[in-house]
Structure 1
Amino acid sequence: MNGSMTDTKPDTKPHSPVLIGLAVMLVAFNLRPAITSVGPLLTGIVAETGLSATGAAALTTLPVLCLGLGGALGPAAIRRLGVDAGILAGIAAVLVGLLLRGFGGLPALFAGAAVAGLGIGLAGVLLPALVKRDFSRQAGRATGLYTMALCVGAGAGTGLTVPFEHALGQGWAAALALWSLPALVAVFAWAPFAKARPAAAASVARRPAPSLWREPLAWQVAGFMGLQSSLAYIQFGWLPAVLQGRGLDALDAGYLAAVAAIAQAPGALLLPTAAARARDQRGWIVGGLAAMVAAFLTLAFGPEILTVPAAIVLGFASGGCFGLGLTVIVLRARDAAGAGALSAMAQGFGYALASLGPFGFGLAHQATGGWGLPALLFSAIAVAGAICGLGAGRAQQVGQAARGP
């Protein structure tokens, strides 16, 4: 990741863009294990605690809902703390939430999910503003790299949590708490940058953020971000259960879900990088969502021999769509302040919308006892996301849409 830090004071020694980029990727790695590590253990948690199907749906929904609430704090964090310190506050909250889960029991599990979700939402909203400020000339590549790191973290949370539980032999709480270690590393890795660039953060905060609530383009970006995220969180929270429903054991289902999660990484890097070079991103968005639906249906109902290829396609397309969501935030904004405001709206409202996906998916499964109705819901969400994406992918910027291309 290359870039310049034009907002720093002359007497402030800038850090290497490479070091900043590596620190960003380390932060990004920790923005999903708090969410993806629960799904592989959900069956065991339900069996041990007696959690109902509705409670399990609420557990998979809560962190996503809190992502939206944390994202809504983005503009205030930019004004009061600046982008860099705001990211530090977010990753510190993730650390606290992960530690809470180690106490065991449902209250600590739900509380940890909420606190970690708030931190993920806050840090996630501020990263596009940082990219627009420091890496604006390489927005697609920079977004792809940190989204790739985020997807690697998602895959690690899905694939390694069950082996951690087996290796530790201390139950699900200890396995979940182990994810606090990389979060602690991220806190220490990002702290020097939060301290080193107060002037850059303040200069972004001083720029007035545009009003977006009457902008159709902003709503389209938010809708696409939320709906594609809803599909991803259904995948994170319920794919292991779907796979177990077709006869796989918990370990095999976890590994297959991990294949899907890890396959997000190349998609998150390649699709946004390529799409950012195109005149608009509409074709990439529709193609990515169509691939997600086809792969998910294959995993749920298709021949067993196709499960591994389908998992790879699902992950690649899911990571690509998430990267596209973040990329259109950067591309549709005029400057760092605009990117921060659009990111807060798109991710704040978007994640609140996204939280309905896994909750509705769980309720649909509870109502029918099967996966047909949930799969239909998954497909309908993808269609709605494509409709929003056709608007969000246009070659316009916020403030320009009302006047036409």
Structure 2
Amino acid sequence: MTLSHPSRFASSAFLLLGVLLIAISLRSPITGVGPLLDAIRAELNLSATQAGMLTTLPLLAFAFFSPIASKVGRKCGLELALMLSLLFILIGLVGRSLGSASALFIGTVVIGAGIAFANVLLPSLMKRDFPNKITTMTSMYVLMMGAGSAMSASLAIPLTDMANQLSISVIPTWAFSLGGLVIFPLIAILVWLPQIRNHTAPSKDTQTLDSHSYLWRNSSAWQITLFLALNSFLMYIFISWLPTILVDNGFNHHEAGVIHGVLQLFTAVPALILIPFMSKLKDKRLLSFSLTLMAFIGIMGLLLKPELAMIWAMLFGFGAGGGFIVALALISLRTESAHQAATLSGMAQFLGYLLAATGPMIMGELHEQTASWQLPLILCAICAILWSAFSLLAAKDELIEPAAHNRNATLEENLS
């Protein structure tokens, strides 16, 4: 029996709501750490390099679990795999908030594993369930990622103040602040539950096609991967260290937290602007290059005129957020099937986050060695120039063709 039109609309709307709620949980657990780094370092006696690991560990988890995610999605279905990702995030958030150094690092790894699954599988879900609205859907869930990260960054210090006012002593105030983020995956889990009942099987092509290993030998796949990698490298450096950079330049912790939150918010702003016209923009090279240029200007502004940090945070956030939207959209737009999209997503995020994982540690180590943020920011500016070059290569308007044996398998499947 076929569903009526209102029922199909309600089902699609609930699926969309679930996707957006998952998106809120994908960056907020990481961005909530930045404003609290100084307090965490003081409480647990961490070095700058160890503190940088709090942002690096989830990125390493992204790299390790990204290739596994597409296999789990094929075996048990996208919906169940996404539910597992939410459960990992929830368990990691609870563990991270226990207050000890070991729990902090272990919980961070578990969070990273959960985020990795959703990062890889959401583009495949877009390809399967919203094939005609890929760019719109990608922009919408990136918008929610930005909104969630802005809330977690902006509320981090106020939540520690609340813990002090309530005289909470069972766990440190920073742990109370981090623990408050469990509300995001909890709500997402409740809304996502019906999807497990309605759709448990992977898409047909996901079940029948092989691993698409040829993508590792494809130049276009590498261009998209490096475009995403350099975007992530720069983004997670600023997520991790911007509040500390600002405090060292004369801002107080509250001001630094607000500016950090504004940066996160402006990573979401491009989604509002790109939603109406991105799907109509056939050649995305000028758009992607413009976004990388904005991020470069933001980095140079912070290096040369740090007192105008609010402006530079807006520019960098807009450029990095817009670049991330374009990178995710390209994974879906330049592939021919949901499985090819999931495999490219796994490849891009495995290598991308592996590179990104080095960023916070490199910045922390360079700062410790030089007692200045000048050299680390110069390194970021050089990386932004490379990112601009790859933006022109990755955003070409052409599909990544499958290898010959994959193409034959697809034809045989269509004829049978």
Return the TM-score normalized by structure 1: 0.92
Query: Which residue in the other structure is 2:385 paired with?
Result: 383
Q: CA deviation at 1:293?
A: 1.8
Query: Which residue in the other structure is 1:80 paired with?
Result: 75
Contact 2:203 2:338 in 1 (8 A): no
Q: CA deviation at 1:387?
A: 2.5
- Structure 1 residues 353, 272: CA separation in 2 closer, same or farther (over 3 Å shift)? farther
Of the three residues 120, 125, 128, the one matched with 2:115 is: 120
Query: Which residue in the other structure is 2:411 paired with?
Result: none
Of the three residues 361, 364, 373, the one matched with 1:362 is: 364
Q: Give me the whole-angstrom Cα distance separating, in 2, the residues matched to 1:69 and 1:271.
A: 31
Query: Which residue in the other structure is 2:182 paired with?
Result: 180
Q: Does 1:334 align with 2:329?
A: no
Q: CA deviation at 1:210?
A: 2.5
Of the three residues 293, 297, 306, the one matched with 1:294 is: 297
Contact 1:282 1:389 in 2 (8 A): yes
Of the three residues 13, 26, 30, the one matched with 2:25 is: 30
Cα deviations across residues 185-229 of structure 1 (Å, max 9, x unaligned)?
111111211221124x25353131533111111111111111101
Q: Which runs of 5+ in 2 are unaligned?
A: 405-416
Cα deviations across residues 308-339 of structure 1 (Å, max 9, x unaligned)?
22222222212111111101111111121111
Cα deviations across residues 166-193 of structure 1 (Å, max 9, x unaligned)?
1122411111111112211111111211
Query: Which residue in the other structure is 2:148 paired with?
Result: 153
Q: Give me the whole-angstrom Cα distance separating, in 1, the residues matched to 2:386 and 2:276.
A: 24
Of the three residues 35, 49, 64, the one matched with 1:69 is: 64
Of the three residues 274, 278, 281, the one matched with 2:281 is: 278
Helix, strand or coil at the partner of 1:398: coil
Query: Which residue in the other structure is 2:326 paired with?
Result: 324
Q: Give me the whole-angstrom Cα distance separating, in 2, the residues matched to 1:323 and 1:334.
A: 19
Helix, strand or coil at the partner of 2:20: helix
Letter in 1 for 2:178: L
Contact 1:269 1:320 in 2 (8 A): no
Cα deviations across residues 27-72 of structure 1 (Å, max 9, x unaligned)?
0001011111111000111111110122112222111111122212
Q: CA deviation at 1:298?
A: 1.8
Q: Give me the whole-angstrom Cα distance separating, in 2, the residues matched to 1:46 and 1:189.
A: 36
Query: Which residue in the other structure is 2:375 paired with?
Result: 373
- Structure 1 residues 240, 57: CA separation in 2 closer, same or farther (over 3 Å shift)? same
Q: Does 1:89 align with 2:94?
A: no
Task: Within 5 Å, give how 1:227-306 maps onto structure 2.
Answer: 227-271=230-274, 274-302=277-305, 304=307, 306=308
Helix, strand or coil at the partner of 1:213: helix
Contact 2:33 2:178 in 1 (8 A): yes
Task: Within 5 Å, give how 1:100-249 maps onto structure 2.
Answer: 100-169=95-164, 170=168, 171-199=173-201, 201-208=202-209, 209-211=211-213, 212-249=215-252
Q: Give me the whole-angstrom Cα distance separating, in 1, the residues matched to 2:92 and 2:306.
A: 39
Q: Give me the whole-angstrom Cα distance separating, in 1, the residues matched to 2:300 and 2:40.
A: 26
Larger CA deviation: 289-298 vs 317-326: 289-298
Cα deviations across residues 357-392 of structure 1 (Å, max 9, x unaligned)?
222122221221111111111112212222322221
Cα deviations across residues 131-167 of structure 1 (Å, max 9, x unaligned)?
0111111111110000100111111111111111111
Contact 2:225 2:349 in 1 (8 A): yes
Letter in 2 for 1:298: G
Helix, strand or coil at the partner of 2:99: coil
Query: Which residue in the other structure is 2:41 paired with?
Result: 46
Letter in 2 for 1:310: W
Q: Give me the whole-angstrom Cα distance separating, in 1, the residues matched to 2:299 and 2:192.
A: 36
Contact 2:67 2:350 in 1 (8 A): yes
Return the TM-score normalized by structure 2: 0.90
- Structure 1 residues 90, 303: CA separation in 2 closer, same or farther (over 3 Å shift)? closer
Contact 1:271 1:284 in 2 (8 A): no
Letter in 1 for 2:23: A
Q: Does 1:352 align with 2:347?
A: no
Larger CA deviation: 349-358 vs 220-229: 349-358
Letter in 2 for 1:59: L
Contact 1:275 1:284 in 2 (8 A): no
Helix, strand or coil at the partner of 2:132: helix
Q: Give me the whole-angstrom Cα distance separating, in 1, the residues matched to 2:185 and 2:43.
A: 27
Q: Give me the whole-angstrom Cα distance separating, in 1, the residues matched to 2:275 and 2:180.
A: 32
- Structure 1 residues 339, 355: CA separation in 2 closer, same or farther (over 3 Å shift)? same
Larger CA deviation: 203-212 vs 282-291: 203-212
When the two chains are superposed, the root-mean-square deviation of aligned CA atoms in Å is 2.0
Q: CA deviation at 1:86?
A: 1.0
Contact 1:61 1:358 in 2 (8 A): yes
Q: CA deviation at 1:274?
A: 3.6
The structure 1 segments of at least 4 consecutive aligned residues displaced by more than 4 Å after TM superposition are 9-15
Q: Give me the whole-angstrom Cα distance separating, in 1, the residues matched to 2:397 and 2:203.
A: 30
Q: Give me the whole-angstrom Cα distance separating, in 1, the residues matched to 2:144 and 2:104.
A: 25
Query: Which residue in the other structure is 2:408 paired with?
Result: none
Larger CA deviation: 257-266 vs 71-80: 71-80
Q: Which runs of 5+ in 1 are unaligned?
A: 1-8
Q: Give me the whole-angstrom Cα distance separating, in 2, the residues matched to 1:77 and 1:400.
A: 22
- Structure 1 residues 143, 274: CA separation in 2 closer, same or farther (over 3 Å shift)? same
Q: CA deviation at 1:299?
A: 2.9
Larger CA deviation: 188-197 vs 11-20: 11-20
Q: Give me the whole-angstrom Cα distance separating, in 1, the residues matched to 2:380 and 2:260.
A: 17
Contact 1:272 1:320 in 2 (8 A): no
Letter in 2 for 1:88: M
